Amino acid sequence: MSVQETQDLIEKIMERLYEDKEFITEETGEARKRFFQSGTEILTTTDKIIKSYIRVSRDNREIERIPAYRIQHNNIAGFYKGGIRFSEVVNEEEVENLAILMTLKNALHELPYGGAKGGVAIHPNHYSNRELNLIAKKYVQRFAPDIGPTHDIPAPDMGTNEQIMDWMIGEFKTINPGENYLGAFTGKSVVNGGAKGRREATGRGVYQSYKWLLHNWAKNTSKDAVAEGLHRKQWETLRSLLAKNEQGEAIDVAVQGFGNVGGVAAEMAYKSTDLKHRITAVSDHQVTLRGKEGLDIEALLHYQEKHGELPSTEQKLENAGVKAELLDRDAIITEEVDVLILVAVEDQIVDENKEKVSAKVFVEGANAPISTKADRYLHDQGRVVIPDVLANAGGVMVSYIEWKQDRVTYLYTEDEVLEDMLNHMSRSCEKVFDSYFKEGLSGIRNTCYVHALKKLFTLLYRHGKLF
Ligand SMILES: NC(=O)c1ccc[n+]([C@@H]2O[C@H](COP(=O)([O-])OP(=O)(O)OC[C@H]3O[C@@H](n4cnc5c(N)ncnc54)[C@H](O)[C@@H]3O)[C@@H](O)[C@H]2O)c1
């Protein structure tokens, strides 16, 4: 999804909210029109885009200039919040879009944060630890005036981890002596004030959003309780998956991306006792592995932990003790499965390949892996897309817990953290799926945007920001 697509969707939903006379009943006529125009302008405009270059001296003594970004979209709901991504394809447009999605995600899940995102255009595997440490510290030096526990709070994202956050907080502390530094970054190591269970949180949340829809909702909701039309088709889609389990068959699942989030989501589906799954394909940046009888996910996780990637040759598969067919990286998109969990990068299902996918349920663990047009196409076919803003918020939910514990210097237990996150995710799912299926709103993503934009617009209105 591009920035333009996201902004267009925001505009469309704001028009809908303007027409909804039960929303902000105090304002009518010209004043109402003006307020909604003004709210739409604010929410489709990014507050601040900061681009810089990080100069790094490589181990071979060459000097490299690397583009780096911090983009703050909106903070009406609270301090800016969003991850920092290390990826060679990072660019301004991508980071801005991700910052907008963070504003929407935090509002949807009622977290007291606005939206931001950061990025550094490197492939982390091509840099030594010394070089990564330098890049992390220089990033903080460049962006320090715009970061802080009560201003903008970064976290890990693709290509970054708790080690990078620890280096960043170390530098932040050096630059800002005497300040409350711990809450300036989340996703740190536990010894450094991080929340227990943070690494698993996003993957577990991704799986929870899917499990909640199938196991808690579809299982217990009759067709009559669903709005007529497409939504009933989608109810049938979900019931067809449950029917497989009832007949003793497994639900076939493919997981694109086998990193922090994808690995955990795959493991949750693999080990689930509430629903019976067979993981028939997984992929990473090099390869798709197919195992029609079900892949040994535990062995693959073990291999991934040791080598940082999936086995991509016959010899490596043998070393991993895994039986699988080796396919092209992108083959996973068109695998014949019931559920496709997308946890790699943006723009994986787009206009060009949307007709070739065969899954019935899609879970967006990554941000924006399905384009607006493809989403509409899948929706019109009665298939179900659980969108990024809903599905992948487990990480930021736990970041909120981490930020709170860093303010009072109290360490929540892992059970407390994960229980809090899973309950939070279930509440969000209930809110979204109830209004989507019962009120017949058009698309689950649109439903999420309606909830998020109602909250953001109400805050702008109550703060007196609209004229
Ligand atoms: N980590 C979080 O807490 C978090 C939170 C919200 C959203 N996300 C999103 O989830 C996605 C994955 O994040 P992560 O933290 O697991 O990252 P990661 O770097 O740990 O893993 C990314 C995985 O995707 C694979 N990959 C990269 N390019 C690919 C491609 N073109 N095709 C197939 N696989 C590819 C990598 O090999 C790796 O297995 C990202 O889009 C990220 O923005 C992450």
Give the domain CATH number at 113.
Answer: 3.40.50.10860
* 176, 193, 210 - which closes a domain: 193
Q: How far is the CA of 285 from the centre of ligand 1 (A)?
A: 9
Q: How far is the CA of 367 from the centre of ligand 1 (A)?
A: 9
pLDDT interval class at 231 (50, 70, 90): confident
Same-domain pairing of 143 and 233: no
Same-domain pairing of 157 and 212: no
* 140, 172, 193 - which closes a domain: 193
Same-domain pairing of 141 and 272: no
209 assigned to a ligand binding site: no
Same-domain pairing of 209 and 156: no
* 142, 163, 193 - which closes a domain: 193
Q: At residue 407, does pLDDT exceed 90?
A: no
Same-domain pairing of 55 and 156: yes
Q: Where are the alpha helices (DSSP H) in 335-413?
A: 372-380, 388-391, 394-408
Q: At residue 107, does pLDDT exceed 80?
A: yes
pLDDT at 2: 84
Same-domain pairing of 160 and 211: no
Composition of the chain by helix, strand, coil, percent to 5: 50, 15, 30
pLDDT at 19: 95
Same-domain pairing of 182 and 143: yes
Q: At residue 409, does pLDDT exceed 80?
A: no
| 365 pocket-lining for ligand 1 (C-beta < 6 Å) | yes
187 Cβ contact partners less than 8 Å away, ≥ 6 residues apart: 83, 155, 156, 160, 161, 162, 165, 194, 198, 395, 399, 402
| 284 pocket-lining for ligand 1 (C-beta < 6 Å) | yes
State the average pLDDT over residues 449-463: 97
| Residue of 33, 117, 292, 316 with catalytic role | 117
Give the C-alpha separation, 267 to 252, whole Å. 14
Same-domain pairing of 98 and 175: yes
pLDDT in tens, 189-203: 999 999 999 889 999
Active site residue 360: no
Counted domains in the chain = 2
81 assigned to a ligand binding site: yes
Q: What is the DSSP letter of 247?
A: T
Q: How far apart are the first and last CA of the chain?
A: 30
- Assess contact for 287 and 327: CB atoms under 8 A: yes
- Assess contact for 413 and 196: CB atoms under 8 A: yes
Residue 457 inside a domain? The answer is no
Would you say the C-alpha torsion 311, 317, 322, 324 has a positive or negative sign?
A: positive
Residue ranges making up the domain that contains 270: 200-394+424-452
pLDDT at 230: 78
pLDDT at 365: 97
Q: At residue 235, does pLDDT exceed 90?
A: yes
pLDDT in tens, 366-383: 999 999 899 999 999 999
| 159 pocket-lining for ligand 1 (C-beta < 6 Å) | yes
CB atoms inside a 10 Å sphere around CB 378: 21
pLDDT at 227: 85
pLDDT at 432: 95
